[in-house]
A and B are shown apart, each in its own frame.
Chain A
Amino acid sequence: AQSVTQLDSQVPVFEEAPVELRCNYSSSVSVYLFWYVQYPNQGLQLLLKYLSGSTLVKGINGFEAEFNKSQTSFHLRKPSVHISDTAEYFCAVNKETSGSRLTFGEGTQLTVNP
């Protein structure tokens, strides 16, 4: 079975600062990797996903993530955050060989302060 660890439960940053949200996974087989964002009182929305090819993936709202197979990581980055990026961020994995059975991490609350 696969598992996902989000290393920080809360990340406070100041507006316009860079941010990195860390995600590590474990799996005995190849996986697809996802980052979702959840704004208050809303459902989850896909930020980006890695399926194959280039290990640097660009997503919406200026976010990007890098897949590192040797370190089994998929960290999310943004060079300059805005107040509106305040939300909870979830990393998720799905085995390549199965249907859609996402395994989620516990989430990281990003709070952007003025």
Chain B
Amino acid sequence: ETGVTQTPRHLVMGMTNKKSLKCEQHLGHNAMYWYKQSAKKPLELMFVYSLEERVENNSVPSRFSPECPNSSHLFLHLHTLQPEDSALYLCASSLYWSGTDTQYFGPGTRLTVL
């Protein structure tokens, strides 16, 4: 595998379920990101990890819980979600947490909350 991969690609869950999204990057990067992409809205940055430390948390509800066990893997743990949380969740990585670095995106996980 090359680039940034995300699993699963599609996920349907009830409001009381607990699930996790997984992201893996094979680029040797040191920064990883979670974004939410909703219809008709700009991409929203949720979390940023740099060298495995969280450096950004954009007022995201606590029902979303990120985890970065090493520089290649990023998880988003989900629990007690709401229907408005249905969206495409994109993972990205960059060489460093720098404004000049290009972010490389995975294909996303399409989440539907019933």
Contacts and interface: CB of A to CB of B under 8 A. Distances in A.
Interface of A: 4, 32, 34, 36, 41-46, 49, 51, 90, 94-107
Contacts of A90: 42-43
Interface string B81-111: 0000000001010100111111111111000
B27 interface: no
B90 A32 contact: no
A32 B48 contact: no
Interface residues of B, number: 27
Contact of A43 (B55, B90, B97): B90
A41 B107 contact: yes
Contact of B100 (A43, A45, A51): A51
A105 B42 contact: yes
Given A32-B100, A102-B103, 10 more contacts: A4-B42, A32-B99, A46-B103, A49-B100, A94-B99, A100-B99, A100-B101, A100-B103, A104-B43, A106-B41
Contacts of B103: 44, 46, 100, 102
B59 to A, nearest CB: 13
A95 B108 CA distance: 26
25 contacts: A4-B42, A32-B100, A34-B102, A36-B105, A41-B107, A42-B107, A43-B4, A43-B92, A43-B106, A44-B90, A44-B105, A45-B105, A49-B100, A94-B99, A96-B99, A97-B99, A100-B103, A101-B48, A101-B56, A101-B99, A102-B43, A102-B103, A103-B42, A104-B43, A106-B41
Contacts of B45: 101-102
